[in-house]
Amino acid sequence: MSINKLLQSKKPGSAMALALLVVIIFVVMGTGLLSLGLHGRMLASRTAAEIAARCAADAGLTKAVFEMNEKIKVKPWDDNTLPQATDETLAPSDATFSYTITSNPDYIYDVDVTGRAGRAIKNVSCTLTLVGLFRNAIYAQDSLVLENAYLVDAYSSEQGPYGGVNALQPTTVATGDPNAVAMGEGTVYGEFLVDYGRELPAISPPTESPFDVSKGSIELDSNSVDLVFCPDDSGQYDFIELLEGGKLIIDGDVTLYVTGEMKLKQFSELEILPDSSLTLYLGGDMNLRNSSAVNALTQIPRDCQIYGVGGEGQNFLMEQSSLFYGTIYAPDATITLENGAELYGAIICDNAELRNSSELHFDATLLKASVDELGAEFIVQRWQEE
């Protein structure tokens, strides 16, 4: 029966039945729409809570890493009082986070973070490892020039001298400005990184006694008797100049502050004996020439640390088959290797240049850091979310 015929029907109750049917249809439709809207609101609320909980967990992880790197600035290091947080509010929301940090050997730490928002819970965990200043074979804040048969690779001094299987291992070369990189023919075993905004720690020479007054200068040649420096010879000096065949020997842990230049000429040597080390703060330029050598006896780069404190315009030049085993930290200086020079260790500078068959071999043992080292910091190595 059609609706028109039903309306024309004079049977009692037919209009009432039709009205009731229409009402039922609208009630069902309205209930469905209300249910759909309610479900959408519940889903949106749950999603928002999950996002807030995730943000809280990420904030907790960020704060945990920050607090660990603040703690490392306080000496001596204490593993028994590690940072922690419980139900800390993530302003301006009502979300909260909690985190705990547990220690493992070799300065490795596990971080567990829980973010909460309403009924939503997000758990994030990661592993923190300690890294030192020298994470790359080269870190140049500004320009990096590599050309004419250069070679950059890695090895490990713990495994013996460079060569054979202990050579041509992967490493990294990093710069703060990717637009200031010039590359020619040569090889880098590894990858290039751009490290924007890396904050390098300031360095200054010691000023207390015996570094407050100059002890003179160091000048040696082939006619000179080998000069041996012991810990008692630590102090301030005007300059170091080793002429042809001159040799300066470091016996013990020696710290020097040289306000002027350091020059090593033909076949001269700065030798560091076993179980000894040299820490050198250099205010002037450094020039190694004509097969001169630094730390070529033990060949352990960690035993020779040079800090450039001469400011902008300071230059480190290694050329003509000179050898250097050590690290150079000179964030305001230019470091140049050319004409067959070889450096075993790592460098940090403002500008770096490798030219004309020069080689830089990164010592992978430098990746192992101590909390007492300059510039040591914790970074996230592994990360997972539940």
What does the alpha-carbon distance between residue 154 and residue 363 come to, in Å, rounded to a whole number?
A: 6
Same domain membership, residue 79 and residue 28: yes
Which percentage of the chain shows pLDDT scores above 70? 92
Identify the pLDDT of residue 35.
66
Q: Is residue 75 part of a domain?
A: yes
Q: Are residues 339 and 373 in the same domain?
A: no
Q: How far apart are CA 47 and CA 35, in angstroms?
A: 18
In a domain, 4, yes or no: no
Please check whether residues 175 and 324 belong to one and the same domain. Answer: yes
Kindly state whether residues 205 and 246 are assigned to the same domain. Answer: yes
Residue 8 lies in a domain: no
Looking at the fold, whether 210 and 342 belong to one and the same domain comes out as yes
Look at residue 3 and tell me if it is in a domain.
no
Start-end of H helices in the chain: 3-8, 14-71
Judgement on whether residues 94 and 192 belong to the same structural domain of the protein: no
CB 153 within 8 A of CB 361: yes
Instruction: Flag whether 6 is in a domain.
Output: no
> Is 7 within the bounds of a domain?
no
State the DSSP string of 265-300.
-TT-EEEE-TT-EEEEEESS-EEE-TT-EESTTT--
Domain that holds residue 58: 14-132+369-386
Same domain (yes/no): 157, 116: no
User: What number is the average pLDDT over the span 345-362?
Assistant: 97
| Whether residues 108 and 164 fall in one domain | no
Looking at the structure, do residues 264 and 334 belong to the same domain, yes or no?
Answer: yes
Does 148 map to a domain? Answer: yes
Same domain for 272 and 312, yes or no, is: yes
- Do 197 and 220 share a domain, yes or no? yes
Q: Average per-residue pLDDT in the chain?
A: 91
Please state the pTM of the whole predicted model. Answer: 0.83
Instruction: Decide if 307 contacts 349 (C-beta within 8 A).
Output: no
Structural domain count, the chain: 2
Q: How many Å apart are CA 212 and CA 277, to the nearest integer?
A: 21
Q: How confident is the model at residue 33 (pLDDT cuts 50, 70, 90)?
A: low
pLDDT at position 8, please? 54
Q: Which of 201, 53, 45, 229 is nearest to 134 (CA)?
A: 201
